[in-house]
């Protein structure tokens, strides 16, 4: 892996930093803070709703939801959230126009296992049919909530009045109609659409990671290398 230790930081910043690029193409910023009682990680993928197929609006957002719902190593749908909750943490994700982000925070001593569980999202997600049927309802509920948001209404107005040939015009949230209607069904079952989107856009070279922990930089580098070794199967 490529390693850079000469990272400029503020004069009063007592944390240590290292940038690494793994053989798979994943890039990571490591932050060592021996005095922190919390650890955290965030991973961003260079894909968002601009990459949605024209006839499956909201697919990037739907894929984001599905990534949390079980992996080969941790098949239970609530495995990650329950682990994070038991160790004083929280997690969330977002889908933007050109990027999708996932992050968690946890008690410092739980970082190694938390990071391994987190990494399995991106190396071995199950993306199951039954999970997809349920999660479409969650996406639709989010869409219905947004109908009451003035901010979201203004955002959609901007989209509706822009150049229809530009990807900004796409409806980003998704709904039961756009994800499970006739146009989407013609392309495949919902879980198959998610699997196709994942396999097309979730490549290690399109991923950037940041990890903060109490461990020295050498240990954090080893931890990231071990946790994300499974990404090698995604290299194309």
Strands 100-107 and 16-21 come out as: unpaired
Closest CA to 209 of 201, 220, 218: 220
The H or E element spanning position 16 is strand 16-21
Q: How many CB atoms lie within 10 A of CB 78?
A: 12
Closest CA to 97 of 150, 148, 203, 170: 170
How wide is the angle at C-alpha 118 spanned by C-alphas 116 and 120, nearest 5°?
A: 70
DSSP summary character for residue 57: T
21, 44, 64, 203: which one is catalytic? 64
**Residue 113 is among the residues annotated as catalytic for this protein:** no
Q: What span, in angstroms and rounded, lies between the C-alpha atoms of 43 and 103?
A: 6
Q: How many CB atoms lie within 10 A of CB 143?
A: 21
> What are phi and psi for residue 111, nearest 5 degrees?
-55, -50
Catalytic residues: 64
């Amino acid at each position: 892996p490529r390693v850079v230790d000469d990272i400029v930081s503020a004069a009063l910043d007592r944390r240590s930093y290292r940038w690494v690029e793994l053989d798979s193409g994943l890039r990571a910023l490591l932050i060592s803070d021996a005095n922190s009682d919390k650890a955290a990680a965030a991973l961003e993928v260079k894909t968002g709703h601009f990459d949605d197929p024209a006839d499956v609006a909201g697919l990037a957002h739907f894929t984001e939801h599905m990534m949390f719902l079980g992996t080969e190593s941790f098949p239970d749908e609530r495995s990650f959230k329950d682990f994070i909750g038991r160790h004083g943490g929280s997690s969330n994700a977002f889908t933007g126009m050109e990027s999708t982000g996932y992050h968690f925070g946890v008690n410092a001593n739980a970082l190694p296992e938390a990071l391994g569980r987190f990494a399995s999202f991106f190396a071995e997600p199950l993306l199951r049919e039954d999970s997809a049927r349920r999660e479409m309802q969650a996406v639709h509920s989010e869409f219905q909530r947004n109908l009451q948001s003035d901010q979201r209404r203004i955002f959609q107005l901007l989209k509706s009045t822009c150049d229809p040939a530009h990807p900004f015009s796409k409806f980003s949230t998704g709904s039961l109609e756009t994800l499970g209607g006739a146009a989407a069904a013609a392309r495949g079952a919902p879980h198959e659409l998610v699997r196709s989107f994942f396999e097309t856009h979730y490549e290690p070279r399109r991923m950037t990671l940041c990890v903060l922990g109490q461990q020295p930089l050498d240990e954090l580098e080893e931890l990231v290398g071990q946790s994300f070794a499974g990404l090698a199967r995604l290299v194309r």
